[in-house]
Amino acid sequence: MKVVIIGNGIAGITTARHIRKQSDHEILVISAESEHFFSRTALMYIYIGHMKYQHTKPYEDWFWEKNRINLHKAYINTIDFDTNTLKTANREEISYDKLVIATGSVTKKIGWPGENLKGVQGLYSKQDVELMETNTQNVKHAVIVGGGLIGIEMAEMLHSRGIEVTFLIRENNYWNSVLPIEEAMLVSRHIAEHGINLIPNTELEEIIGDNDGRVKAVKTKTGKTIDCEFVALTTGVTPNIDFLKESALETDRGILVNDFLETNIPNVYALGDCAQFKNPKENHPPVEQLWYTGKMQGKALAKTICGQKTKYERGIWFNSAKFLDIEYQTYGLMFNKPFATEDTFYWEHPKGKIGMRANFSKTDGSLSGFNFFGMRFKQTVADTWIRNGNHISNCIAQLNEGFFDAEFNKNHHKKIVESFNTAHPKHQATIAKKKKFLIF
């Protein structure tokens, strides 16, 4: 049986690797972006200069041939689902028995006037980093439009080159649509302290070009004009499925799939950023654009393709990121406001760079989620506590079980417990005393 996978990101490659572990199926991975799988989250470090492209490849180039995973660099123009045939931009025809579509995302465009000018771009692919290298040559001032994780990455990238950065966001504070107000304010202050000009409550009206078709300024909806030579569009990404829009495949925002990652066409599957669940779980996004969910989907789909039909179960929500030099981790369904059934506790260090939040049930005190800023916490511990519904007082009392900061970092556990007991006196947390051992 021949399995063809379109896309060599984490979702597609995980599927290929796990099919090989479980079968002798012929595997062909097709990508127009790169010849070999690389870590997409490391793209920014290539631009900053901390890494080279070859350092972002988790596997040596010989890995693929040794494991009989065939790689082909090509762009797929069309798919004929009646004859199980792919047609490339170079007029090649490639047949398949089972097809996996893992084409990822592309930068979302809003339709602003001037968004296609030279010097205007987003950041998602290897080609985007290469384009950014060209577009920012001799640039003195850049404007970023839109918050989110890609926005802060591009701000850090530009800042590393000594380029002045103006950051336009629609909200009162950075990422206010996702982060609670305290966390959004913490990150916003941190951005400003790094010399990045964060302008809240501001929307883009148009991008203005010069006589050579290159950006020279942006205009906001308030009528303000900001001169710049580079514009980063970071208002999100959208599934990369334009080449499928007129096909028999059911699509909406993404390719519609069930819990087994099956599409409406037999033997055709979709996963990763380009897939959209028909019946997502309550409060869960229909399109999951995370590295670890792509990996989990790939493992589940490989079992299905190899004859063991397996439902995709994501488990407890998790994500991590970095806001300049503040690390961020979130566990469970943590939104900008707790659910009506939840209570919340927030602690922040007086210096304003370290903080944590815990949400828990108002009725039984069971933990539902964590946010951590500037401190590291073990995913396995948070996952277990949330899954088991551990009581909030026990979780706060036992936070040290999850902390894994550097050896000489200050431990804030005692201050967190004191603050929690003051804010929630009916849920008193007590740190267990360490046992003393006598040495004879």
Please check whether residue 361 is in contact with residue 396, taking contact to mean a CB–CB distance below 8 angstroms: no
pLDDT of residue 432: 74
Taking only the tens place, the pLDDT of each residue in 371-429 is 999 999 999 999 999 999 999 999 999 999 999 987 667 789 999 999 999 999 999 99
Q: Are strands 197-199 and 164-168 parallel, antiparallel or unpaired?
A: parallel
Q: Are 224 and 143 in contact (CB under 8 A)?
A: no
Stated pTM of the model: 0.92
In words, the CATH class of domain 318-427 is alpha beta
Question: Are residues 139 and 220 in contact, defined by beta-carbon separation less than 8 angstroms?
Answer: no
Judged against a pLDDT cut of 50, whether residue 246 lies above it is answered with yes
The one-letter code for the residue type at 371 is N
* DSSP characters over 221-255: TTS-EEE-SEEEE-S-EEES-GGGTTSSS-BSSSE
What span, in angstroms and rounded, lies between the C-alpha atoms of 142 and 164?
6
| Distances, alpha carbon 236 to alpha carbons 175, 285, 386, 409, in Å | 12, 14, 29, 35
CATH class label, 2-106+238-305: alpha beta
Q: What is the pLDDT of residues 274-307, one digit of tens each?
A: 999 999 988 889 999 999 999 999 999 999 999 9
Helices then strands, counting H and E runs in the chain, come out as 10, 25
Give the Å distances, CA to CA, from 81 to 8, 96, 168, 249, 263.
21, 10, 44, 9, 12
Candidates 245, 5, 15, 9; CA nearest to 105 is 9
Q: Nearest-CA neighbor of 235 among 134, 336, 108, 342?
A: 108
Q: Is pLDDT of 9 > 60?
A: yes
Task: Enumerate the domain spans of the chain.
Answer: 2-106+238-305, 120-235, 318-427
Tens of pLDDT, residues 298-327? 999 999 999 999 999 988 999 999 999 999
Selection from 153, 149, 168 nearest residue 110 by Cα = 168
Tokens representing residue 429 in the block: 């947390």
- Residue type for position 72: H
Average pLDDT over residues 50-78: 95
pLDDT of 189: 96
Say how many CA atoms lie within 13 Å of 206 toward its Cβ. 5
Same CATH topology for 2-106+238-305 and 318-427: the answer is: no
DSSP state at residue 311: -
With CA atoms as reference, report the closest residue to 302 among 2, 20, 4: 20
Q: How many CA atoms lie within 13 A of 91 on its CB side?
A: 0
Nearest Cα residue to 191 out of 372, 47, 323: 323
pLDDT tens figures, 200-215: 999 999 999 999 999 9
Homologous superfamily of domain range 120-235: FAD/NAD(P)-binding domain (3.50.50.60)
DSSP 178: T
Q: If pLDDT is split at 50, 70 and 90, which confidence band does 440 have?
A: very low
Whether the CB-CB separation of 392 and 417 falls below 8 Å is answered with: no
C-alpha separations of 391 from 28, 332, 335 in Å: 48, 15, 20
How far apart are alpha carbons 144 and 298 in whole angstroms?
33
Beta carbons of 151 and 231 less than 8 angstroms apart: no
The answer on pLDDT for 431 being more than 90 is no
Residue 94 clears pLDDT 90, i.e. is over it: yes
Pick from 56, 1, 9: nearest CA to 33: 9
CA 87, CA 217: separation in Å to the nearest integer?
Answer: 41
- Please tell me the distance from the alpha carbon of residue 327 to that of residue 324, in angstroms, as a whole number: 8
The answer to whether the beta carbons of residues 174 and 152 sit under 8 Å apart is yes
Percentage with pLDDT > 70 across the chain: 98
The alpha helices in 178-310, defined as continuous H runs, are: 181-193, 291-305
d(CA 2, CA 433): 60
**pLDDT (mean) for 225-235:** 97
Average pLDDT over residues 133-143: 97
